[in-house]
Amino acid sequence: MRCGRWPSRSGCARTVDPIAGGLHQHVVPNVRVRVSGADRAGIVAQVTGALAEAGFNILDLASDVAGTERQPVYIMHIEGYSDAPLERLQAAVAPLAREGVDVQVSAIDTLYG
């Protein structure tokens, strides 16, 4: 039995769909976020959730715990991309200060040459 251009062993044809080729478009981060606060459950979710709601896309996230065993401090560095103005991102994370979480949002200057 032959059913198609490229018959398989079972007798049924395999089809190949055309796809558009192209290179992956790397997104360059334009915003840096630095976070520090008492290490506790939920700090990552609160910060990243607030940023996502404001239109921030995380491209890289690194974290660590510093301080002492009795008073651990959670530190997080995030780089990402957003079309939203910095003021919107800053306003989104501002309420976290009431919970002792310091969040600094700044632009990343990228030079091409």
50 vs 10, residue with greater confidence: 50
pLDDT on residue 11: 62
Of 75, 70, 89, 91, nearest to 43 by C-alpha is 75
Residue 51 in contact with residue 89, Cβ under 8 Å?
A: yes
Domain boundaries along the sequence of the chain: 31-107
CA 8 to centroid of chain Cα atoms: 43
Q: Is the pLDDT of residue 8 over 60?
A: no
Query: pTM, whole model, 2 decimals?
Result: 0.76
Of 33, 9, 46, 43, nearest to 106 by C-alpha is 33
pLDDT on residue 40: 92
Architecture label for domain 31-107:
2-Layer Sandwich (3.30)
26 vs 70, residue with greater confidence: 70
1 vs 68, residue with greater confidence: 68
